Amino acid sequence: MGKEAEGLQEKDIESRGEQSRPGGRSQVLHGNQPTRPFPEEPSHWQEKFEIFNLDMKTGDTLKVKGKISDDADSFSINLGCSSSDLALHFNPRFSESVIVCNSRCSKAWQTEHRDNHLCFSKGSTIKVIIEMLADKFQVKLPDGHEVEFPNRHCYNKISYMSVKGGFRVTSFKLD
């Protein structure tokens, strides 16, 4: 059974951001709410939201829908154990017309993979589907093109997800 949040309503996931509430429970941040930068990242990377108990496992699929801002330079969808340890950093960059994928280990970025198939544009509404396999991640783009990135950390469970930059998540679903 999947976990789903439509319109970013709080469900059975834990998130953290500017809108934290007492008792450790928080609501997911909307794109138009105040944001704060991640301490170890450049200030232009603004936090949209973080989830700490995603519970994505090998064989699971994550569907992320949202709107790319009209003035976006880039955005990223990040999956891992924490912001310091990412199995997948999916980063479309409009200024370079490229999708960069990378991983991060103990705050150190690894070697980038670049895919020149950028099939969406600023201001568009898109759905990205990320499938976690034992040896790789498969990211299906809106036009059906797939970007593959190796599971370098050999993770079989992902607990952390964040979205940063010029992308406002409208819904996501984990199956």
What is the structure's pLDDT at 1?
45
What are the Cα distances from residue 30, in Å, to 16, 50, 86? 12, 11, 23
Q: Other C-beta atoms within 10 Å of 140: how many? A: 16
Picking from 161, 173, 174, the residue whose alpha carbon sits closest to that of residue 81 is 161
Mean pLDDT, contiguous 10-residue spans, the chain (175 residues): 44 36 34 39 56 96 95 95 96 96 94 95 96 98 97 96 93 93
In the chain the domains, ranked by start, together with CATH numbers, are 51-174 (2.60.120.200)
What is the structure's pLDDT at 49?
79
Residues 172, 120, 166: CA angle, nearest 5 degrees? 60
What is the structure's pLDDT at 95?
92
Farthest CA pair distance, the chain: 45
pTM (two decimals): 0.76
What is the structure's pLDDT at 6?
45
What is the structure's pLDDT at 48?
72
Picking from 9, 60, 26, 50, the residue whose alpha carbon sits closest to that of residue 170 is 9
Residue 149, both tokens:
């990135």
Amino acid present at 154? C
Tell me the DSSP string of 91-126: EEETTTTEEEEEEEETTEE---EEE------TT-EE
